[in-house]
């Protein structure tokens, strides 16, 4: 078989995205690029999930959204942050700037930082507390270190 014919039959290989090798001075070890690299497949990250707003604001039971701590009315742009630590607080700050008048709820594993969260505009609640409404947007920022069933925690907030 002719080399040109064989080359036409074999699909061209797509080059992998590569970033320069990080140094400890330029990036902390906990930060990793979200682009595909050799040996690691690309993954889609779902940071926020949209649920029907009518169901959220009326408190109707549905299979979508995440239940909210007791609040009078859940509005169209309200956000629940599961694990409002360093990353969650950055998200809250940006969300509050982009969506004036919305509420940002923070679900925590302990009450240790609830006063700090309240000071920056996050309405804190404790994991496992009684909930009555659903949030239209949810972002999961909790680390696996404080969970006995991290995959289960992710699944419970996915619905």
Residue-wise pLDDT for 66-107, tens only, equals 555 545 678 889 999 999 999 999 999 999 999 999 999 999
8 within a domain of the structure (yes/no): no
Judge whether 11 lies within some domain.
Answer: no
Does the residue 145 lie in any domain? yes
Q: Which domain holds residue 100?
A: 53-60+72-158
- What six digits make up the tokens of 20? 């320069």
CA distance 110 to 84: 11
3-state SS track over 139-156? EECCCHHHCCCHHHHHHH
Three-state DSSP at 56 gives helix
Give the pLDDT confidence score for residue 154 in this predicted structure. Answer: 80
The overall average pLDDT reported for the chain is 68
- The model's pLDDT over 16-62, given as tens digits with 9 standing for 90+, comes to 445 455 454 544 444 444 444 444 443 333 344 443 333 333 232 23
* DSSP annotation of 116: H
User: By C-alpha distance, which of 72, 91, 75, 77 is closest to 140?
Assistant: 91
Classify residue 12: in a domain, yes or no: no
Query: How many Å separate Cα 81 from the centre of its chain?
Result: 7
Asked if residue 46 belongs to a domain, the reply is no
122-146 residue pLDDT tens: 999 998 776 667 889 999 998 888 7
β-pairing, 66-69 with 131-135? antiparallel
The total number of structural domains that make up the chain: 1
For tokens 């590569």, name the residue. Answer: 18
Q: What is the CATH number of the domain that holds 119?
A: 3.40.50.720
Does residue 102 lie in a domain region?
yes
């Amino acid at each position: 078989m002719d080399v040109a014919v064989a080359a036409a039959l074999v699909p061209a290989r797509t080059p992998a995205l590569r970033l320069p090798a990080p140094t400890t001075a330029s990036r902390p070890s906990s930060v990793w690029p979200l682009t595909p690299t050799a040996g690691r497949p690309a993954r889609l990250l779902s940071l926020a999930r949209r649920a029907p707003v009518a169901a959220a604001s009326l408190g109707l039971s549905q299979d979508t959204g995440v239940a909210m701590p007791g609040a009078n009315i859940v509005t169209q742009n309200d956000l629940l942050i599961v694990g409002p630590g360093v990353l969650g607080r950055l998200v809250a700050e940006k969300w509050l700037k982009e969506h004036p008048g919305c509420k940002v709820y923070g679900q925590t594993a302990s009450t240790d930082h609830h006063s700090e969260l309240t000071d920056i505009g996050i309405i804190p609640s404790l994991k496992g507390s009684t909930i009555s409404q659903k949030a239209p947007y949810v972002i999961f920022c909790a680390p696996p270190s404080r969970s006995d069933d991290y995959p289960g925690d992710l699944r419970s907030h996915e619905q």
